Amino acid sequence: MILYGQRYNTQSRYYYAMEKLKKWAQINHYIILDLLIMKPYIIITDVLAQFASVTTSASSALQFLNRLSSMLLLTFDIDLKNNFMFQFTRKAISAHIIVKPKYEDILNMGILFDYWRGKGSNRNLTNIKQQTKPTSILMTICSMRPAEIEGISLRHSGICEKTDKADL
Kindly report, residue by residue over 13-31, the tens digit of the pLDDT: 667 777 777 887 888 788 8
Phi then psi for 138, rounded to 5 degrees?
-70, -40
Instruction: Please answer whether residues 86 and 39 qualify as being in contact, where contact means their C-beta atoms are separated by less than 8 angstroms.
Output: no
Quick one: which H or E segment has residue 136? helix 128-143
Which segment, 11-25, 92-106, 114-128, is predicted with the most confidence on average? 11-25
Assign 126 a pLDDT band (cuts: 50, 70, 90): low
Among residues 60, 61, 55, 64, the alpha carbon closest in space to that of 146 is found at: 55
What is the C-alpha to C-alpha distance for residues 12 and 21, in angstroms, rounded to an integer? 14
Give the pLDDT score at 90.
Answer: 76
What is the DSSP secondary structure assignment for residue 106, as one 8-state letter?
A: T
Instruction: Please answer whether residues 36 and 19 qualify as being in contact, where contact means their C-beta atoms are separated by less than 8 angstroms.
Output: no
What is the C-alpha to C-alpha distance for residues 156 and 159, in angstroms, rounded to an integer? 9
Distance of CA 154 to the CA centre of its chain: 11
Query: From residue 61, how far is each of 6, 114, 126, 167 by CA, in Å?
Result: 22, 24, 27, 24
Task: Sketch the domain layout of the chain as residue ranges.
Answer: 8-167
Among residues 45, 127, 49, the alpha carbon closest in space to that of 80 is found at: 45
Question: pTM for this structure?
Answer: 0.45
pLDDT tens digits along 67-79? 777 777 777 776 7
